[in-house]
Chain A
Amino acid sequence: MKQLGWTVLAVILAAMPWIAGEYYINLASQIFIAAIFAASLNLLVGYGGLPSLGHASWLGLAAYISAWMSLKLGLGHWLTAPVALLGTTLIACAFGWISLRATGLGFLMITLALSQVLWGTAYRWVSVTDGDNGLRGLTRPAPFGISLDGATSFYYFALAVTVVAIVLMAMFVASPFGAALRGTRDQPRRMGALGHAVWTVRWITFVYSGFWGAVSGLLFVYYNKYIHPASLSITGSAEALLGVIAGGSGTLAGPIVGAAIIMLLKNYVSAYIERWNMLMGFVFVLIVIFMPEGVVPGTRRLFLRMKRWKSG
């Protein structure tokens, strides 16, 4: 049954460009990017119990580094991509060192303050970031000589990256290290007493999560060929966090489903009304009050209850 589900999903994803029009293919690519972004945040929020409200930093930083290097230094993608990933990860090392001085709400406030600093800098450091105009005129890379300018080729590229990212994150969570991480979430003092380096476990997770955030940032800037300070704003971080919570934090599928829901809502609703921010605010309030555990665990519980009811 489960295998059948996976096969159907794989076939649908692979055949998407033949079934759907360009609009939907592009929408799917955007969902992939948002899914990697939310899944990477989920490592911290769901498995580490560390609510970060500054995850947009990683998406924005990677995008800005890559864009700046190719526009202002004229370097090729083969160099900008690894440097953007490395640079963002290094900054994640530093930010993690600062933010993890605290846990819980303190951690949340520090990550928020740090990411707001980056956001403000992106607006004001005009000589580097072009400020409110954003960096435009970017190109997509052509790995192995295949141009990604078409919707279909970019779709497959994003799909491939997403599969690799999700598998690697799933392996991270399933590993003994992932078990230790969940331990530090539930019982930090006991884990410390058992000889686990609680702080280091959290820090490594922070950096790993930042790395995958950076990967989604590269995809983001390749897709849009444009980057604006708004990508670093609290709205970006909050959307991702909402995706994680709405889908169900601490589950593998939750953030992906959540990110997809948010992306679909955003695309369809903003076609009819301009008030995306207000709608997102209401979704936030409603989800926290009425579905605090998220859509995926909620549905699973319903499913289990039905099964039990059927079997008598």
Chain B
Amino acid sequence: MQYWIIQTLNSLALGGLLFLLAAGFSLIFGLMRIANLTHGSLYMLGAYVGVTVLKFVPNLWLAALIGGAVIAVFGGLIERFILRALAGNALGQVLVTLGISFIVADFCLIVWGGDPIPVQTPLALRLPLRVGGVAFPTYRLVVLGIAVVTAIALYLLMERTRIGAMIRAGVDDMQMARAVGIPVSKLFTTVFCLGAGLAGAGGIIGGPIMSAYPGLDADMLPLALIVVMLGGVGSLLGAFVGSFLIGAIYTFGTALLPDLAYVILFLPMIVVIAFRPRGLFGRQTV
């Protein structure tokens, strides 16, 4: 019983982290048609920056905010000065993001070294929550809560604000959005910063669970890709459902069949791509 509860919470926490990563990836891809392969690196860079910030400010949430802001600025710079120069050249943009991801990975290796750096769980959240004789790991519940709150905030941003309406218009029909006077250029930078910031904050929030280590980017990026393909490009709901689905499959797959967890990840992707290439909630085909 205890084992299954812990595994379930692990899967929910991983799903929450994946959502922070995949939501930005999905929005960027949906709006700008850029497959941002630096997204995994932004997550890792966020974790490392958070580690450094934690040395000066011993508060994880503050570190997540600062780390997220740093990564958001970094993402904005990439968008403004590199991706902008390659507008219309989709393959070129992917290759550049791939190149940047190699640079970032090596940069992290130089600055923070090759050993995994553990991140301390905030003191108040270290003790498990006991309800009726069953212990729930508190921090994982908190991560889940953060993901849900972020999802609601993003939903409100997308559905209830002017900026959200503009982003949706851009996702659905870019040329028309431009024609009616939506400042698409500013929107691009905003969405890219938002996506990068979410990934960076996710990296440090995930720190107490995953720690910061070289290769974190390569571990997270494929998961985010699978989530987005499952859920559908540009769809917030899709990213949400896909994240928890993949979080669950990955966690239980690793627990039950550790050798083949990666193969099991594949199965839902094959089914969805075979029968519904646009993903569960996608409005456009990839």
Interface residues of A (CB under 8 A from B): 51, 53, 98, 101-102, 104-106, 108-110, 112-114, 116-121, 124-128, 233-235, 238, 241-242, 245, 275, 277-278, 280-285, 288-289, 292
Q: How far is the CB of A20 from chain B (nearest CB, A)?
A: 31
20 A/B residue pairs, CB under 8 Å, sorted by A? A53-B98, A102-B277, A108-B91, A108-B94, A113-B222, A116-B221, A117-B266, A120-B222, A121-B260, A121-B262, A124-B261, A235-B102, A245-B95, A275-B106, A280-B102, A281-B99, A281-B101, A282-B99, A288-B86, A289-B86
* Chain B contacts for A114, CB-based, 8 A: 266
How far apart are A102's CB and chain B's nearest CB, in angstroms?
5
Distance in angstroms between the alpha carbons of A29 and B103 in the assembled complex: 29
Contact A281-B102, Cβ < 8 Å, known A109-B229, A117-B266: yes
Interface positions, chain B 86-131, Cβ under 8 Å from A, are: 86, 89-92, 94-96, 98-107, 110
A112 is contacted by which of B33, B103, B222 (Cβ under 8 Å)? B222
**Bound CA span A233–B82, Å:** 25
Residues of B within 8 A of A117 (CB): 222, 262-263, 265-266
Q: Whole-angstrom distance between the alpha carbons of A245 and B273 in the complex? A: 28
- B286 close to A105 (CB less than 8 A): yes
SS class, residues of chain A in contact with chain B:
helix
- Work out how many contacts link A and B, with CB atoms closer than 8 A: 127
Contacting pair B103 A282 (CB below 8 A): yes
In the complex, the answer to whether B100 meets A281 with C-beta atoms within 8 Å is yes
- Assess the B99–A288 pair: CB atoms within 8 A: yes
Given A282-B103, A284-B102: A106 and B285 within 8 A (CB)? yes
Question: What residue in chain B is nearest A94 (Cβ atoms)?
Answer: B270
Q: A125-B260, A285-B82, A288-B99 are in contact. Are A105 and B225 (CB under 8 A)?
A: no
List of A residues within 8 angstroms of B96 by Cβ = 284-285, 288-289
Interchain CB contact under 8 A, A281 and B103: yes
Q: Flag if A289 contacts B262 (CB, 8 Å).
A: no
Q: How far is the CA of A235 from the CA of B217 in the complex (A)?
A: 12
- Evaluate contact between A289 and B85: CB separation under 8 angstroms: yes
B187 at the interface (CB under 8 A from A): no
Given contacts A105-B286, A112-B222, contact A120 B99 (CB under 8 A): no
For A127, the chain B residues whose CB sits under 8 A away are: 259
